[in-house]
Amino acid sequence: MPTGSKSKKLVNSERLWNDLMSIGELTQKDQPYTRRAFTPMFAQGREWLRTKFVEAGFEVSQDAAGNLIGKIPGTTAGAGTIMVGSHSDTVPSGGRFDGVAGVIAALEIGRVIKENGIKFKHDIELVDFLAEEPNVYGLSCVGSRGITGNLSSESLAFTEPGGEKLSEAIKRVGGDPERISDAKRSDIKAFFELHIEQGPILEREKIEIGLVTAIVGIRRIEIVFNGEADHAGTTPMDLRRDAAVALAETIVFIRKIAEEFAVIGLGHFVATVGVVEVQPNAMNVVPQSARLVIDARSESRELLDRFVEEVTRSAATAAESYRVSCDGPKILSDSIPSICDNDLRILLGNCAKDLGLTTRELASGAGHDAAFLSRVAPAAMVFVPCLRGKSHAPEEWAEPTALAAGANVVTEAMIRFDAI
């Protein structure tokens, strides 16, 4: 039976906060807060984390998929692993909390376990997953896909505009793509991820702990319209083959159909076009080509399928109207909706209540590493409120007390899970 707290608040809130603010300083100075996966700034963040893991007395390693892992061996050989973690990479001009709050919480939980001499039967692993955010190689959740055996040779061959392959990038940050299958795990008995909600519900309802029921499936879809470059001043309107107009009409349709699907009663549905590229992108040239990438999310795969059918029809109609061709829709990535483990969610809820915290269940409209971990292990997520629900922006904010509360809930749940 492990010693240690029963519903005690063991986390050092000030230390957790100071570490989070320190790693937040490791950002592209001209674009706070930016620590894009595989960049020199990301490598600085990783070095900072590795040092902290070593100082905390963890056994530090990297797996073949490039995940940074701090381990505290358990007392019982073969008991398996309890894993806690999230990601330290950011979106461009992102925040100081998305992902990295969960990594620093994992670091703090590991320190609490060591400092309080809490003995676990299970091995404990504290993880920074590689490249959770979509990146220049066109694939998100790189490290957690690796842990679940979902990094195919096709994915490893994805290249960024400069021609470097994803496999080369993984190697560059300490992974070993030739042994990528070694990253696949079957020993994880429970996975916990603490994350800011990245939405307004907990703050609005003044709830301290969010217990995540499901994580949406995310489908990223590319469409390219090809017309004809022409002089913007001399070409008569009826002779123009303007790719950008077909793209614009399609974006408006995407918004309309997403608003309809959002209230159709099949759970969470959202879609947006976050990437728009026009070539040759010159103000006095009729656009020859126009590329868009859609990020569509839903708890229902059937609804995502219907969405793609509707968008396909709309894009074809727009292309015909403006006498341009339409390549796509092409599915760039397609993660399935993930259900979080019911027993772990109940355990987290009981721990939160015993710690005097209010809770509510909610789905996650954001993607997370937990979505992949849930394919190889029981996985659960704890959300903490964030200011105005804002995320993926420098204004992202969460209170020190909220982060400490979340970390205490996860710590307590790990102790109780280990004792089952």
Binding site for ligand HGY (CB under 6 A): 98, 132-133, 140, 366-367
- Please report which helix (H) or strand (E) contains residue 332, including its range: strand 325-335
Give the nearest residue (CB) to Mn ion: 99
How is residue 257 written in tokens?
Answer: 């159909």
Following DSSP, what letter does each residue of 31-98 receive, concatenated? Answer: SSS---TTSHHHHHHHHHHHHHHHHTT-EEEE-TT--EEEEE--SSTTS-EEEEEEE----TT--SST
> Nearest distance from residue 102's CB to ligand HGY, in Å?
11
**Residue 91 Cβ, how far from Mn ion at the closest point, in Å?**
6
74 binds, among ligand HGY, Mn ion, none (CB under 5 to 8 A by kind): none
Tokens 């590229």 belong to which residue? 277
Q: State whether the Cα torsion 349-353-357-359 is positive or negative.
A: positive
Q: Name which of 2 and 94 has its Cβ closer to Mn ion.
A: 94
Residue 4 in the binding site for Mn ion (CB under 5 A): no
In the complex with ligand HGY, which residue's Cβ is closer, 341 or 396? 396
The nearest distance, CB 140 to ligand HGY, in angstroms, is: 6
Gap between the Cα atoms of 322 and 246, Å rounded: 6
Q: Which residue is nearest to ligand HGY (CB)?
A: 366
Return the number of the residue (119 or 375) whose C-beta is nearest ligand HGY: 375
Query: To the nearest whole angstrom, how small is the minimum distance from the Cβ of residue 369 to Mn ion?
Result: 8
Please report how close the Cβ of residue 3 comes to Mn ion at its closest, in angstroms.
Answer: 33
Which amino acid, one-letter code, is at 371? A
CB of 279 vs Mn ion, minimal distance in Å: 28
CB half-sphere exposure, 122, CA atoms < 13 A: 21
Q: Which residues of 61-94 are buried (b: 16+ CB within 10 A; e: fewer)?
A: ebbbbbbbbbbbebeeeeebbbbbbbbbbbbeeb
102 contact choice in Mn ion, ligand HGY, none (CB below 5 to 8 Å, kind-dependent): none
Distant-in-sequence, close-in-space partners of 263: CB < 8 Å, separation ≥ 6: none
- Minimum distance of ligand HGY from residue 292's CB (angstroms): 17
| Partner whose binding site includes residue 197, from ligand HGY, Mn ion, none (CB under 5 to 8 Å by kind) | none
Residue 132 contacts residue 141 (beta carbons within 8 Å): yes
203 binds, among Mn ion, ligand HGY, none (CB under 5 to 8 A by kind): none
Phi, psi of 352 (to 5 degrees): -60, -45
Closest distance of CB 216 from ligand HGY, Å: 8
Secondary structure of residue 225 in the 3-state scheme: strand
Token pair in block for residue 190: 């429970």
CA distance 87 to 93: 16
The smaller minimum CB distance to ligand HGY, of residues 37 and 251, is found at: 37
Instruction: Mark 257-276 with x for binding to Mn ion (rule: CB under 5 A) and - for no binding.
Output: --------------------
Nearest to 355 by CA among 408, 314, 305: 408
Q: Quick one: which of 28, 30, 60, 32 has its CA closest to 42?
A: 28
Among ligand HGY, Mn ion, none, what does residue 108 contact (CB within 5–8 Å per kind)? none
Measured from the CB atom, the residue of 141 and 319 that comes closer to ligand HGY is 141
Partner that binds at residue 27, options Mn ion, ligand HGY, none, CB closer than 5 to 8 Å by kind: none
Per-residue contact string for residues 43-82; x = within reach of Mn ion by CB under 5 A: ----------------------------------------
What number of chain residues touch Mn ion (CB under 5 A)? 2
Binding flags for Mn ion, 88-107, as an x/- string (CB under 5 A): ----------xx--------
Choose from Mn ion, ligand HGY, none: what does 367 bind? Cβ within 5-8 Å by kind.
ligand HGY
Category of 55 on φ-ψ map: left (φ > 0), alpha (ψ -120 to 50) or beta? alpha
| Residues in contact with Mn ion by the rule CB under 5 A | 98-99
